[in-house]
Structure formats: C-alpha cells, structure tokens
Structure 1
Amino acid sequence: MMRGPFFCSLAFMALLVPVLAGCDLPSGGPGVKELTAQPQRQDSRRLFSGLVMQDITLREATIMAGQMREAEKLRVRQAIWAIDAGHSTRDPVIHVGDDLSVSILSFAGGGDTPAIMKLGHFPVLRDGMVTLPYVGAVRVVSLTYASIQQKLSRLYAAQRVFSHPSVIVQEEAPDGRWEADSVLVLGEVKTPGEVRWQPGGLMLAHVLAEAMGGGPPVPAGGPSDGQPVSVRPETVVSVVRHGQVVGALPLDDGLVNDIHLAPHDRVIVKKEASIRIPVLGGGASRPGIYSFGTCPTLADILAISGGLQRDAASSRAIFVLRRDHDTPHLLKIRFDRTYGLFVAQSFLLEDGDVVYVAESSWVPYFKVFSLMLQAGVLASIAR
C-alpha cells in the first residue's frame, strides 16, 4: 500500500517548510514587520531622504480630516470669488407699463436638484405696483431687476410656500436686444444651449436650473453613465470667460450660492473623478486604482475594494503612503483594535495616497505547504 510512504513524504515536506519559506516565492509585497523595521526608515542607498512613520489615532485622523475639509472650502470660496461678476452694470429700472415674466427657482418636494416654476406674465400698473400670486401687490417701479429679484425672494421665503425660493424676473423683450449677450451651457445637462441674457443679469443657479430642466444631470453617454464600481465621480461646474476657465466648483455649491455670471460666459457641466487612490498588497481583496470626485475616507476605499482578503490579510494594520513636501510618510492605522474602525471612518485620503494591505505573516508558509502538498499528491499518484 502507498499510504505509509505518502504520509511519510508529507511529514518530511512539513519539516522542509521553514527552510523553503526563505526562497523567492511569489509575494504580495512586504509584510507589517518589514514595513515597520528601522532600516526601512533610513534607506542606505538614499532612495529618499527618510521615511516618517506615524501611528494614526482617532484624534489625529479627525484633525487631519478637518484641515483637508477647510482647504476644500477655501478652494470653493476662491472659485466663487473668481466666477462672480457682480451685478450687471446694464441693469435698467422697471417702468410703468413693463411686462414682467416671473419664475421661482426652488427645491420642490425636498429634492436635491432645483425646479423652476413659471408664475406667468404680469404688467406694471400705473401706480407702480404688480400683483403676484401668494404675495399680492408689490411696488416695483424704479427698482432695478436685480433688486426686485432680491425683494421678491425675501417675500416668497416669508410665505413658506416654496423651499429656499429664488425669484427670477425677466423683461419681455420681443425685439431680442439681450440675445447677443446670452450664456452658453454645455456638458451633462438635459437641455444644453444658450440662455438669454436678462436685464438684471444671470446667476449661475438660474442658468443651471434651466439647463437641467428640474432634474439631475444627464451623463453625456445617455441615461446610464455606465461607470464601473471603481469610479465614483462628482459633477463639477466650470465657467469659461474670455477663453479661460475662471473657476470650477461642485454642482451643489453652484446651486446654493448667489454667483453672478457675465455676458458671453460659457458654463460647462461634467463629471470628474480626479482623485486616484491605488490599493496594493497581498492582503487586499481587489487591488487596483480607484477614482473619486471627492476625498474618500479609508472606510470608503476599503468598502469599494472589497476590504481585507479573508484568510490572507494581516489584521494588525493598514498603511497609507503619503508624500508631504517630498518627504515620504508611512501612516499606520491599527486594525487589530476596535478604534481602528473608527479611525477608518474619519481618515480622509487625498490624491496621490497609496493604501497598502499587507499579507499575514503565515501566508508564505501556507504557499510553500500548498506547493509541496500538490507535489506530494502528484508524486503519490504517479506511483
């Protein structure tokens, strides 16, 4: 019988495992011990100036995330300041006999995107008043279009009929004298095209609402964007003025802020995923490059990449490699303790970061044993 020799060979191969484990077998990269070893911090060949290692606590993760969010808010504010052209210098006043078209931009039904409700056309009467739904008679004569829009927005907000209303007042100008100053809207919107300039000027939110048709952005490829799970883009609005992009900001910020456009502006709406996060290491379930429109948390990237590989990943720590002023940093998040999960929820990743999930220390031994076991079974079958 072959059972005796077969099990003897298995026992002999088990004794060889520690020896063969030192051979060059396929590996997923350095383990936790190799990453945290002192020689790694000061490379003898000067491949970099020095590796800074840091254990990330929940407090540190929260502080770092707060700093990143403040930096993003500052970037958005700077974009708003760059885009905002101020009130139109060609803003005429309203006269008796003018025919006004009044619409309300609001977030109807608690939705995420605005909708425009056209209230109708209203003449300015001899007493300088115009009678509007919900608010009644309002004096408008001698007011500029920009100022009457602000006044009516406050009146409608006080009625609590509409959610965050913004009033649009337009002059019915059949001669088309404002057509030459229209704003062009392009990209992932329902109705791309020109939006006619108004005597009171145009705000970015009004232009976006008209182009979006009261619904969410439509991808250029059709109703379904077909984005793979590895890409989570964000809808970004860019404004081109005199042939140059003066500012770009997220769609939500373009809708909620009062940003005045200039005549002949070009508004481009598109989805972007400019933040690329590689996930590496033998302990990662789905290594690869994952793209986001906004900075994801470590928990986000672990969820989208399938988390830690079962029976292969080291649960001791997850590493984030980051460069700060040309100095490489190895940020360590402990995953063998409960607080590591809370750190992952708070820790924000930025473009250029690398997430590394090491293999468990016993995985190389398991690989050797598997190879030798297969070889032993084949040898026993051959007999």
Structure 2
Amino acid sequence: MKITGSRGAKALALVALVSAVGACGLPRSGPNKAEIFKGSVLKQGDAFIVTVNSRVTRATAVTPALGFSSAFRNAGVVGSDVISPGDVLGLTIYENVKDDPLLGNTGQRVSALTEIQVDGAGYIFVPYAGKIKAAGQSPDGLRNIITKKLDTQTPDPQISVQRLAGDGSTVSVSGFAGANGVFPIERPTRTLSAMLSKAGGVTIEPAVAIVRVTRGGKTGSIWLEDLYSNPALDIALRPGDKITVEKDTRSFVAMGATGSQTKVPFETQTLSAIEALATVGGLNTGTADPTGVFVFRNEPAEVANAVLGRRDLKGDQRMVYVLDLTQPTGMFEARDFLIRDGDTVYVTEAPFVQWQKTLSAISGSTNAANNIATTGQ
C-alpha cells in the first residue's frame, strides 16, 4: 500500500510539475486552437470564426476587378496616317510648267517643302495656298486640299504629302517595360499589345504584370496575361496615352507551424490556400496540426454578410476561416478557397508538441539539478 501511495504521489507531483512548467509559457509559434476560438464573437470576442465549406468558398471568391471601361474598349483604331498637332509633314509639289513655275526657279518643276510642323491648333502654312487645317486629315485628304488651293494658280499641280515622325501621335511607355520612352503611333503599333511589343515587352514575370493606361482623366488597367488571351482587351491607342507596366503588389503573411514564416508576394492572379501553404514549404511535418489551418482577414461587410447569412453588419469585419485538412473534403476546400491581399495564413502546432516541450524542459531541469547535486558531493 505504501508503494502504491508513493507511486500515486509521484504521479501527482509529475502532473503538478508539468502544469507548472506549462504555465510558465514555453516557447511556441503562436496561439493554439483553443485560444483562437476564445476570440470568437460567441465567446465575447470580436472575430467571426467560420469553418470553410463550398458555400463559404463561393461567397469569398473575390478577385481584384481589373479591366477597361467601354470608353476604352469602344474606341476605334486610329488611322495610321491621321495627322495630329505636332506632327511633321513633308510636301513635294510637281508643277506642269517649265518656264515660270509657281514655287520653284525657272526650269525647276519639282519643289520640296520639308519639315513642315503642324501647329498646336492643327494648321500648316503652304506658300500660295495659305493656312490650311491639317490635323484630322489623312495625307491623301490633305493632298486634295492643297491641290485645289494651287490648281487655280498653276496648271494641274501634282502633290505628294508624307507624314513624318512627329510629336502629335505618340504615347509614353514606362514602368517595367523593356524600354521606357515616347513612341509614335504608327501602322504596326496602333493597339496596346503592339505598342508593348514595340517597347520590348515587359521585364517582369507576365503572371504578375499589370498594364495601366491613362487617357485624359480616365485610367484602366488589366492583367498582361488577360491582354494576350482576350483580344477584346487589346484597345486602340490614342495620342497622349500613358502606358505603365506595374508589378502586382499583393501579398500574404505565413505564420505558425509552416515551412517558413514570412511575407509572401503573390505570383499568380489567384492563389488558393493550398497553393499559399505550398509556397512557404507546406506544413511543418514535425509540429503542424493539419486540423488547425486558419486564415485571418478583414472582410468587407457585403462579403461578411453573405458568409454569415446576415444583413445587419456594417463596415469591415474580422473573420477567421478554419480549414481542417484531415476532413474527407479538407484538401478540396483548401484547394478552392482563395487567399486575398493582406491575409494571414496561420497553422497551429499539434497538441503533443507542447507536451514534448514541457517534458523536455522538465528533463532538462532534472538533469541540471542532478549535475549540481553530483558536483556538490
């Protein structure tokens, strides 16, 4: 009976010691499942804790809304030879006279007027023809106008109009493009994709490239991959357009019992929970609890109401989404649940890990005490 009592006393002492050591706050990667659930609104906390299922996945599947407005999409392709203010023109005039030409010297039938710049109001000046509105005309249309002006002064004039490179019909390209600068809108570069090709493409991964176009006071942006896969997004350019290639700035934070704890940039347009975990090396096989994968997020009221089946929530709501990878559909739910910008993906430690740490601490303390006692003898 004494032996049994002695063993019972030792067991009680061990439990008490384990509890005492555990209460001291052993090192760990973050809160456990019980502590997270204590923050639920059901327990006077301030976060809604929701188990992920197919309905929740559909309600939270919100991706960045990128695209061009109808004003961008419906704009027709500008004629490659349409003259604009700032353009430089070259005129060649052939006169059907030899002795007394209107523009040239005696015996000179051909007169060349080079580098005639279209002024800010869209006009040019041609000797004997006067001031002529050139902007908005094609070279052929301007040729007809000049011909009519000169026809009354020299018999049957023949005129050639050439649109040279100028400052009128140009766009600027900047950001992560192959070449930054000002490029003319020419016949091969009248659309967005063609102009990007002219500028040398992009210098970042296409999956994270965003193309922004500013026209006047309006701006539209699209994913580069969408531009190449959807011809409707290959908008026609207009003089003065500003094209900027930007890098996706979205990111999420991985913490807890994962392969690494870090801030991770998005590498694709959409990122699932299972992909996010894979990006940081998956679950730590020695410490992770696959039943405790959490996603912390501030959710807009409209999404939070849809997830919770409510209508009364206002403003951003703190939401904690729970994924249990051990459930029959757990891996599928993690595959379909989308991670968003600013999310925190947290994996709890398995319960036995804290016990291991506690026992190790006790063992270490006992060994240290024994060493001290041995040294003192």
TM-score, length-normalised on structure 1? 0.60
Matches of 2:75 and 2:189, distance apart in 1 = 9
Deviations 1:246-280 (A, max 9, x none): 112111233343301210112111322x2221222
Matches of 1:190 and 1:179, distance apart in 2 = 22
Determine whether 1:341 maps to 2:335: no
Query: Which residue is 2:295 aligned to?
Result: 320
Query: Which residue is 1:361 aligned to?
Result: 351
Larger radius of gyration, structure 1 or 2? Answer: 2
Letter in structure 2 aligned against 1:60:
R
Aligned residues: 269
Query: Which residue is 2:221 aligned to?
Result: 248
Q: Evaluate the alpha carbon distance shift between residue 358 and residue 245 of structure 1 in structure 2; reply closer, same or farther with a 3 A threshold.
A: farther
Note if contact 1:276-1:352 (Cα within 8 Å) is conserved in structure 2: yes
Matches of 1:12 and 1:233, distance apart in 2 = 60
Matches of 1:54 and 1:36, distance apart in 2 = 10
Q: Evaluate the alpha carbon distance shift between residue 14 and residue 245 of structure 1 in structure 2; reply closer, same or farther with a 3 A threshold.
A: farther
Q: After TM superposition, list the pairs within 5 Å mapping 1:51-200 onto structure 2.
A: 51-57=47-53, 59-60=54-55, 62-64=57-59, 67-69=61-63, 72=64, 75-77=65-67, 79-81=68-70, 83-84=72-73, 86-87=75-76, 175-176=163-164, 179-198=167-186
SS at structure 2 position matched to 1:264 = coil
Note if contact 2:258-2:347 (Cα within 8 Å) is conserved in structure 1: yes
Q: Evaluate the alpha carbon distance shift between residue 334 and residue 204 of structure 1 in structure 2; reply closer, same or farther with a 3 A threshold.
A: same
Deviations 1:317-373 (A, max 9, x none): 311122222222221111222421111111101123221211112222222221222
Alignment partner of 1:375 out of 365, 372, 375: 365
Deviations 1:86-141 (A, max 9, x none): 12566769xxxxxxxxxxxxxxxxxxxxxxxxxxxxxxxxxxxxxxxxxxxxxxxx
Note if contact 2:66-2:222 (Cα within 8 Å) is conserved in structure 1: yes
SS at structure 1 position matched to 2:239 = coil
Q: Evaluate the alpha carbon distance shift between residue 338 and residue 196 of structure 1 in structure 2; reply closer, same or farther with a 3 A threshold.
A: same
Letter in structure 2 aligned against 1:56:
V
| Structure 2 residues not aligned, in runs of 5+ | 1-9, 83-137, 140-159, 302-315
Deviations 1:217-249 (A, max 9, x none): 224xxxxx9xxxxxx97111111334x561121
SS at structure 2 position matched to 1:278 = strand
Query: Deviation of residue 188 (structure 1)?
Result: 2.3
Matches of 1:25 and 1:233, distance apart in 2 = 43
Matches of 1:359 and 1:374, distance apart in 2 = 22
Q: Evaluate the alpha carbon distance shift between residue 21 and residue 83 of structure 1 in structure 2; reply closer, same or farther with a 3 A threshold.
A: same
Matches of 1:177 and 1:266, distance apart in 2 = 18
SS at structure 2 position matched to 1:314 = strand
Matches of 2:161 and 2:344, distance apart in 1 = 57
Q: Evaluate the alpha carbon distance shift between residue 82 and residue 322 of structure 1 in structure 2; reply closer, same or farther with a 3 A threshold.
A: farther
Q: After TM superposition, list the pairs within 5 Å mapping 1:184-333 onto structure 2.
A: 184-198=172-186, 202-212=190-200, 217-219=202-204, 234-242=208-216, 246-255=219-228, 256=231, 257-272=233-248, 274-281=249-256, 283-292=257-266, 294-324=269-299, 325=301, 326-333=316-323
Letter in structure 2 aligned against 1:210:
K
Query: Deviation of residue 174 (structure 1)?
Result: 5.1
Matches of 2:347 and 2:263, distance apart in 1 = 14
Q: Which moved more, 1:260-269 or 1:11-20?
A: 11-20
Q: Evaluate the alpha carbon distance shift between residue 189 and residue 327 of structure 1 in structure 2; reply closer, same or farther with a 3 A threshold.
A: closer
Note if contact 2:292-2:324 (Cα within 8 Å) is conserved in structure 1: yes
Matches of 1:13 and 1:376, distance apart in 2 = 13
SS at structure 1 position matched to 2:40 = helix
Q: Evaluate the alpha carbon distance shift between residue 81 and residue 13 of structure 1 in structure 2; reply closer, same or farther with a 3 A threshold.
A: farther
Q: Evaluate the alpha carbon distance shift between residue 305 and residue 88 of structure 1 in structure 2; reply closer, same or farther with a 3 A threshold.
A: closer
Query: Deviation of residue 298 (structure 1)?
Result: 0.4
Q: Evaluate the alpha carbon distance shift between residue 372 and residue 241 of structure 1 in structure 2; reply closer, same or farther with a 3 A threshold.
A: same
SS at structure 1 position matched to 2:334 = helix
Matches of 1:311 and 1:363, distance apart in 2 = 8
Letter in structure 1 aligned against 2:175:
G
Note if contact 2:297-2:342 (Cα within 8 Å) is conserved in structure 1: yes
Matches of 2:292 and 2:29, distance apart in 1 = 15
Query: Deviation of residue 304 (structure 1)?
Result: 1.1
Q: What do you get for the CA RMSD once the two structures are aligned?
A: 3.4
